């Protein structure tokens, strides 16, 4: 059997978990959802959910991992035999997300290539991005490149190296995003975007806002995907979990907020903030940012640097996704790591192809009325993760009882918000998850 590695320091755990959490979800997904689902009101709902919900779920997952010392499938089995199936269900989530994550990772590499070959201006033309993603071959080549880089890192076990590099890349990304956000605010028309983004308008509130914010929370914090349980199992017993988790949450949310600051005002500045541009969805960042970079001298070089940084953020998340999948097979079936890596790479490639073609020649193939990429995103974020979280909350809230988690957290310090924690995990999580599920199933989203 493979030897289980363990984090040697609190910082090691924080960095790995933050590396998994901060990725395309923050930079690409958060801004387009915020633009689409009501701006300020989405932001407000997201922030409230992050400090209550996100916190409770993350501490539960990490504590389960640390208590059992197991990865996801074995961990639930150890807590209660009847819940063994929950481990399998949770293990399925990264398997669904990983392939389409690589499709978006491929788009990032394409833009990197665009800026490296000085075609930044062409990228602002109407139809440039749409033309690229709807092509049958080119986006698949880029997704293959992204997938190969990720697989090589996981195969050779050089995650530590990547983490070390991204330790310097992440602060750069933050500085650059702040700079770009400030710059965007100076463009005429951007102020309306800022207001739309930060001022909650209750008339924009709907159930969809909550459902989208909740799905985003899971995605962004890598919750209910087995990853945080596995990371918990590597965490030393004397780590202050509550403090570490607050730190990861703040970091993850701050990067998402900054990305919104960079993109949403720019949408108003360049496309007038009409409803159609706000609804652009997954393509928003790739259409807006080229305009920003094209609008000032030196923007093309900054564009290149920016996409390199985004690529690193995307890679650390993709690596954690693939690592989660690989370790499930290695732990459970004792298959050699190299074999599993190749198999996962191959299957992920096949699964990613429909997500890519769905933007072009297969755009008329719809599952539940959605193209493939949106379908996988919907099934994982709006159906599977809420089911996993609901069952986990029932297991912890009513079967093993929240005290077990509280005791685990308190082996290494105090658990200041334990009262709130018990209430959230017992009542608020199950009720909210049921609402999400019902609204997803009945087509609110």
Closest CA to 258 of 185, 166, 169, 164: 185
The nearest distance, CB 121 to ligand PFF, in angstroms, is 29
CB of 20 to ligand PFF, least distance (A): 5
Residue 173 or 269: the one with the smaller Cβ distance to ligand PFF is 173
Integer Cα distance of 162 and 153 in angstroms: 8
The 8 Å CB, 24+ separation contacts for 81-85 are 83/391, 83/395, 83/399
Nearer to ligand PFF (CB atom), residue 21 or residue 328: 21
Q: 66's torsion region: left (phi>0), alpha (psi -120 to 50) or beta?
A: alpha
Q: Which is nearer to ligand PFF, 25 or 265 (CB)?
A: 25
Give the Cα separation of 60 and 76 in Å (integer).
12
Residues 6+ apart with CB under 8 A from 102: 143, 146, 147, 150, 318, 348, 349, 352
User: Min. distance of Cβ 102 from ligand PFF in angstroms?
Assistant: 12
Nearest-approach distance from CB 383 to ligand PFF, in angstroms: 15
- Comparing every residue's Cβ against ligand PFF, the nearest one is 25
Nearest distance in Å: CB 317, ligand PFF: 4
Q: How far is the CB of 14 from ligand PFF (least distance, A)?
A: 15
**26 or 382, CB closer to ligand PFF?**
26
Q: Judged by CB, which is closer to ligand PFF: 61, or 291?
A: 61
Q: Which residues bind ligand PFF (CB under 6 A)?
A: 20-21, 23-26, 94, 97, 219-220, 222, 225, 227, 317, 320-321, 324
Minimum Å gap between C-beta 380 and ligand PFF is 8
The residue (of 324 and 432) whose beta carbon lies closer to ligand PFF is 324
Nearest to 249 by CA among 419, 57, 51: 51
Q: Closer CB to ligand PFF, residue 108 or residue 353? A: 108
Residue 269 or 392 having the CB closest to ligand PFF: 392
Residue closer to ligand PFF, measured from CB, 101 or 270: 101
Min dist. Cβ of residue 21 to ligand PFF (A): 5
The CA angle 415-421-424, to the nearest 5 degrees, is 175
Answer positive or negative: Cα dihedral of 177, 182, 184, 190.
positive
Cβ 311 to ligand PFF, closest distance in Å? 12
For residue 366, which phi and psi values (nearest 5 degrees)? -120, 140
Closest separation in Å from C-beta 316 to ligand PFF: 9
What's the token pair of residue 90?
Answer: 């949770």
* Least gap, CB of 414 to ligand PFF (angstroms): 28
Compare residues 219 and 421 and give the one whose CB is closer to ligand PFF.
219
* Residue with Cβ nearer ligand PFF (94 or 265): 94
């Amino acid at each position: 059997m493979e030897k289980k590695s363990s984090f040697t320091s609190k910082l090691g755990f924080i960095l790995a978990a933050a590396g998994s959490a901060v990725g395309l979800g923050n930079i690409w997904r958060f801004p387009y959802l915020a633009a689409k689902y009501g701006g300020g009101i989405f932001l407000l709902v997201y922030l409230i959910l992050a400090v209550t919900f996100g916190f409770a779920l993350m501490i539960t997952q990490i504590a389960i991992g640390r208590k059992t010392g197991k990865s996801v499938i074995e961990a639930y089995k150890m807590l209660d035999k009847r819940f063994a199936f929950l481990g399998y269900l949770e293990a399925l989530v990264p398997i669904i997300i990983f392939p389409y994550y690589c499709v978006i990772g491929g788009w990032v590499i394409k833009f990197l290539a665009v800026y490296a070959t000085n075609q930044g201006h062409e990228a602002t033309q109407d139809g440039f991005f749409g033309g690229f993603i709807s092509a049958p071959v080119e986006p698949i080549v880029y997704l293959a490149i992204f997938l190969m880089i990720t697989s090589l890192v996981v195969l050779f076990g050089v995650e530590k190296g990547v983490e070390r590099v991204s330790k310097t890349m992440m602060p750069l990304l933050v500085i650059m995003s702040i700079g770009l956000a400030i710059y965007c605010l100076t463009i005429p028309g951007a102020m309306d975007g800022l207001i739309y983004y930060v001022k909650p308008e209750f008339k924009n509130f709907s159930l969809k806002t909550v459902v989208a914010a909740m799905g985003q929370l899971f995605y962004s914090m890598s919750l209910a995907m087995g990853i945080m349980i596995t990371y918990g199992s590597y965490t030393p017993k004397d780590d202050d979990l509550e403090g570490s988790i607050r730190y990861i949450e703040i970091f993850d949310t701050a990067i998402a907020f900054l990305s919104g600051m960079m993109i949403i005002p720019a949408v108003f500045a360049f496309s007038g903030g009409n409803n159609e541009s706000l609804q652009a969805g997954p393509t928003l960042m790739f259409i807006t940012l080229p305009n920003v970079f094209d609008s000032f001298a030196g923007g093309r070089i900054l564009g290149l640097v920016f996409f390199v940084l985004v690529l690193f953020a995307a890679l650390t998340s993709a690596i954690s996704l693939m690592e989660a999948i690989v370790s499930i097979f290695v732990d459970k079936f004792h298959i050699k790591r190299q074999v599993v890596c190749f198999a996962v790479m191959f299957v992920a490639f096949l699964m990613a192809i429909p997500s890519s073609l769905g933007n072009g020649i297969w755009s008329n193939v719809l599952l539940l009325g959605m193209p493939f990429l949106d379908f996988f995103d919907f099934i994982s974020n709006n159906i599977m993760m809420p089911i996993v979280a609901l069952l986990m909350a029932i297991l912890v809230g009513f079967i093993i009882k929240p005290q077990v988690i509280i005791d685990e957290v308190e082996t290494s310090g105090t658990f200041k918000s334990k009262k709130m924690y018990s209430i959230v995990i017992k009542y608020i999580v199950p009720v909210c998850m049921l609402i999400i599920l019902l609204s997803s199933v009945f087509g609110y989203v």
